[in-house]
Amino acid sequence: MRQVIENKILPKVIKPIRYQGNEFNSVHKNWDQIPVRVAFGFPDVYEVGMSHLGLRILYHTVNKREDALMERVFAPWVDFEEKMREYKVPLFSLESYKPIAEFDVFAFTLQYEMSFTNLLNMLDLSGIPIKSSERDDKWPLVIAGGPTAYNPEPLAPFIDAFLIGEGEEAIHEIIDVIKQWKLTEGVKSKDELLKRLCKVTGVYVPKFYDVEYHSDGIIKEVISNVSFAPKKVVRRVIKDFDNVDFPDKPIVPYTEVVHDRIMLEVLRGCSRGCRFCQAGMIYRPVREKSPESLLKQAEELIKNTGYDEISLTSLSTSDYSCVQGVLESLMDKHGSSGVGVSLPSLRADNFSVELAKQVQRVRKTSLTFAPEAGTQRLRDIINKGVTEENLMEAVTAAFKAGWSSVKLYFMIGLPGETQEDLDGIADLAYKVVDVGREIMGDRVGRMKVTVSASSFVPKAHTPFQWFPQDTIEALKEKQQYLARRLKHRRIVFNWHDAKLSFIEAVFARGGRKVADALLRAWQLGCKFDSWSDQFKFDNWMEAFADVGLDPSFYANRPFSIEEVLPWDHLDAGVTREFLISEYSEAAKEQTTADCRFEKCTVCGVCQNLNVQTDIKGGKLHAPS
């Protein structure tokens, strides 16, 4: 198979480097001597997948074990897939070129709903039956995790088991269960394996749960159909974040990838409480790494990769309590060697000139701020906690420190949005331009303000999960209005495809029934849906019609507070009562304070998951 790939396929495709493997720091083990073999599947192209920190972490974590291996596989681009099918080459791993069907586990990460068709396509290219009910004991165990797994129901017919929550510790327990099952004498039943996995905290096995519906299509209840499946699956959470596994020798790709730099995770979680933000709910509580751990990891990563940029990653890096000291220490030690530091996630309300000065000691990286909404009223509704004054102070500091361009992220279609809020987006952009013109003077020709407007997509386990998405027509009207308002030589306006956001919302809020539409869409040729040149909206609408589903029932319908949601049998830690309270506060245009710095909001995470925020860095402690 390797000869066919290398001699007949790779010379005929663009970017053959995507499929060759053997990168610096990749791990190659003796296949025949390893009891448990895992293929990590990322349902997008190599350049996107290799930028994912979770892949790097789990690859390192599993390959540290002597009794397990993890190899990588990405979604092949359309040209490579065409040749694979022509030469009957099954999907294979990069490290050993072994067919995926020969692994014990095919493990997917789910980062985005619009990668679901790629997942089905990768199963098909592997020769693995797409539906779990059609896979007998000879096939690999197909599992999935990641943020999109918090509503796993649209993929329930295709996945054997989901991991809900963080994977660094759970992956070891899952491998241990699989290893013991393989050592079991006699016939090895996959049902027995799934029964054992069901006992691992955070593992959800869809076949052990039944969904009943009311006559109008709304879910009546989701109940376990076996005695050993928990009524609610509780997510996994890392308690000792300071000492959890982190890769010190990450793979260095031969080609440029989306995030082509060292990624150093400074904290995990966010307690700001933006009501639209799924990550801010499902990654609670906030857990910081100590400066000592970060500086040690940075030194090892620079030595083992050769990268000249360190990205301090998190949901909000400027919220890290030791960010100033860590930044100064990194620049003092490595700046003279040409190593720069970037802060990819900044908040306008705690951006400082000192931070800006530290970042630009080696090179100026881009600065991005996310006001999210154009008026204070709407920012209060979404609980953003950022004011116009915060933003103007931040961009003023940035322009004075030498930056010539800034990016502003907004969201349209938010609950409670009015025409005034749209005008507010344009007004803020022009105010930023005015500040830049005043500060930059003769250099104003270099100034650029990029305004990006994404469309609100209601997500599971958030206070806004009950709100509908705007219709495609309404979103398009808002985009066109902003495009007219933002015509300026110093402003670049970008927006997301409203049709794509609509399909995303269907799968963000949909239950098991939408799985039929997903399968049909793939059969009609849908894949790489997040790529604008590959997205086939008409095929999607045909798929929904073919299976008798109205997609607006999921995307554009307000959900009742009383109805059972597709993900209610999964416990993300944040309680339903807290989410309802935040939903009500939004309607009253009231904000909720950050629990790191003010009183506990009793969201349920610290109380029910036996962890709590510790802003001093390092270990978490059970609440008293």
Contact 297, 248 (CB under 8 A): yes
From the list 374, 359, 376, the residue with the least C-alpha distance to 311 is 359
**pLDDT at position 445, please?**
85
pLDDT digit string (tens) for 39-86?
A: 999 999 999 999 999 999 999 999 999 999 999 999 999 999 999 999
CA distance 503 to 114: 8
- With 0-12 CB in 10 A as exposed, 13-18 as middle and 19+ as buried, what is 248? middle
Axis-axis angle for helices 116-126, 514-523 (nearest 10): 60
Burial 273-289 (b: 16+ CB within 10 A, else e): bbbbbbbbbbbbbbbbb
Q: Which residue has the tokens 């003796």?
A: 30
CA distance 158 to 391: 45
**pLDDT at position 366, please?**
66
- Tally of CA atoms within 13 A in the half-sphere of 39 that contains its CB: 29
CA distance 259 to 263: 8
Q: What is the chain's mean pLDDT, rounded?
A: 93
Distance of CA 22 to the CA centre of its chain: 27
Alpha helix segments (H runs only) across 486-547: 498-509, 514-523, 537-547
Judged by DSSP in three states, 489 sits in coil
Amino acid in the structure at residue 389: E
Tokens (6 digits) for 233: 């699956």
Q: Which domains, from first to last, does the chain contain?
A: 2-234 (3.40.50.280), 366-513+549-559 (3.30.750.200)
**pLDDT at position 444, please?**
84
CA distance 417 to 489: 27
Cis peptide before 285 (omega within 30 of 0): yes
CA distances to 174, 222, 380, 577 from 591, rounded to whole Å, are 41, 33, 6, 17
pLDDT digit string (tens) for 324-371?
A: 899 999 999 998 899 988 887 677 877 776 777 777 666 666 688 899
CA distance 616 to 624: 17
**pLDDT at position 364, please?**
64
State the Cα angle at 600 between 615 and 602, rounded to 5°: 125
CA distance 253 to 86: 28
Amino acid in the structure at residue 621: H
Quick one: three-class SS letters along 372-422?
Answer: ECCCHHHHHHCCCCCCHHHHHHHHHHHHHCCCCEEEEEEEECCCCCCHHHH
The pTM assigned to this predicted structure is 0.95
CA distance 197 to 104: 14
Q: How many CB atoms lie within 10 A of CB 560?
A: 10
**pLDDT at position 615, please?**
55
CA distance 425 to 228: 52
Amino acid in the structure at residue 469: Q
What are the residue ranges in the chain where pLDDT is below 50? Answer: 616-624
CA distances to 33, 386, 388, 425 from 394, rounded to whole Å, are 56, 11, 10, 17
**pLDDT at position 621, please?**
36
Q: Which helix (H) or strand (E) holds 144?
A: strand 141-145
CA distance 158 to 316: 34
CA distance 590 to 588: 5
CA distance 583 to 612: 23
Q: Which residues pair with 219 in a beta bridge?
A: 213
CA distances to 180, 231, 361 from 192, rounded to whole Å, are 11, 19, 58
State the DSSP code for 6.
I
State the Cα angle at 108 between 343 and 283, rounded to 5°: 45
CA distance 317 to 351: 10
